[in-house]
Chains A and B, each alone.
Chain A
């Protein structure tokens, strides 16, 4: 009885008695959820257009952030370092397409997936040699990101919202809107979606596979840079950041591998739910640190009822 009480009643009682703390938890969940959604978005873009499950998205985030910080450390002004980093990401996208993907066209999915793990390892080694393995500070102020915080007093309590988190959320929203505009309105965006629908049909109407692949990987690189800045401002820049890639995978599972909106909604849902679970159930009952697996187990349960994720394309199988 005690046990049931501690699972079913006490957490909600805690939420009701300290609504300001609940709001704080929800806000933290929203911020991390936004970042999960951004990483998942990088995955989705690449999966949609090339059926490649890009495991390297996480390391691309680290690589982009490290390049930015590294350039700044070598005397490049922050606002010039951003376009230079974008150039580096473009070169990276191009070389990945040329060296890795082009020879592997038409291979089974799992081979391409392994190739992206190969890219991940390569970039880890390469990055550590160039930038070193230690934790670096993100150049938040230099990029003119406000670092103060707002304080509210809802319900007579206390709520602290950091301005850089607000910036991250606003930046993410702008990026997503821009991406959706690009995918739905521009010619290139239509080409990307056409390629996602049917490779051969897209090729036959004259869409260039290699151009689109470079473009998509470059967009994933841009998304990675934004994620890297936002996350780096919270936790510093190091190769430990790579683990956030594992956070994005259940988001994909939940939202569906092909769905942009699924990635966003799934990211927010998982970000918020895992924070709530950790604070109200995980820490008091399970010894904490449940964030490593909660999202996966949650996504697994959802998948048992919807095998293609919440927003994924319905899988129709024919013999």
Chain B
């Protein structure tokens, strides 16, 4: 009933191709945006910003990047963590070489470094397919993390081998560094994520997105109908690594505040992959749903034993956490292999025809 589409007539092809053919979708999105831009900033505490809202946004951005590569263009990648690292280190170097640089410009520019490296490691995808390619992307993962450790220039030869984010202000507002208020950081991340999501939605809907989907479904057939495979695949690697690089820069500059090389190790890659798969491959919305689940779950699980008054040590809670997440991943895959986004799509279909079954 809430989703009644009766009476929404389309009188032109343009209207039929619109981003929101159903008016209620637009309303829902507007509601979410108001929630994100107005309600959360007014109500959320520092803790909620730092443990839930900011990480959800950053992880969903990284998952969005991976989803473009894996979900849309069909190239499985396990090197996400390393590409996030490239973005973070690039941003750090940009900020040390040009201290007066606008942080937003630095973040957006560091994506290009990650994109260039992504294309270089994407070159094998022209020859290698499937799981072989997935293992090949692990080459990027291990090699880059090793480079982050060994190449002193990247972390300005600091004794700890870690990068520390200094205080960075734009127009008098501090956005990064130890003294930055969480709400500033939240707005910075939110604006970047909204902007990139907007671009990504339109990219995947248009000619390029259709090319990617054709490559994903069968690349030889795609080549036969005239798609330049090399261009399409490398563009997918470029766009995906760009977004992942930006996510990595945000990850360190606006959330963690400091980073060591092993932060970008393989668990980070898998975490982003979980988000993309549990959210739903080949969907934009899924990344957000998946990120909410994966970020919120540990917070909830670690709160439960204390609430129930169970005497568990932090280490045990940690292990239980891993175990439950593993079990939940399997459960989700069994219940809905196409992810949370499909769950929403099914629910939406039901809502449109409700209360009738057909």
Contact = CB atoms under 8 A, between A and B. Distances in A.
A4 interface: no
Contacts of A122: 322-323, 326-327, 330
B201 interface: no
Contacts of A8: none
Interface string B117-142: 00000001001111110111011001
Given A115-B333, A296-B142, A121 B150 contact: no
Contact of A319 (B129, B146, B224): B224
Contacts of A109: 130-131
B326 A121 contact: yes
Given A286-B150, A308-B132, A114 B139 contact: no
A46 to B, nearest CB: 12
B113 interface: no
A293 B139 contact: yes
Contacts of B73: none
B334 interface: yes
Contacts of A286: 150
A53 B132 CA distance: 11
Q: Say which size band chain A's interface belongs to.
A: 35 or more
Contacts of B130: 109
Contacts of B143: 293, 296-297
A115 B129 contact: no
B138 A111 contact: no
Contacts of B134: 53
B135 A114 contact: no
A126 interface: yes
Interface class of chain A by DSSP: helix
Contacts, number: 139
B97 to A, nearest CB: 24
Nearest to B327: A122
A246 interface: yes
B108 interface: no
Interface in A254-306: 257, 286-287, 289-290, 292-293, 296-297, 299-300, 303-304
Nearest to B328: A118
Given A121-B322, A121-B323, A319-B220, A100 B136 contact: no
A303 B277 contact: no
B323 A126 contact: yes
Interface string A188-214: 000000000000000000000000000
A104 interface: yes
Interface in B40-94: 70, 76
Nearest to A250: B135
Nearest 9 Cβ contacts at the A-B interface: A125-B323, A121-B326, A122-B326, A296-B139, A125-B322, A118-B329, A293-B142, A118-B330, A293-B143
Interface of B: 70, 76, 124, 127-132, 134-136, 138-139, 142-143, 145-146, 149-150, 218, 220-221, 224, 266, 270, 273-274, 277, 281, 315-316, 319-330, 333-334, 337
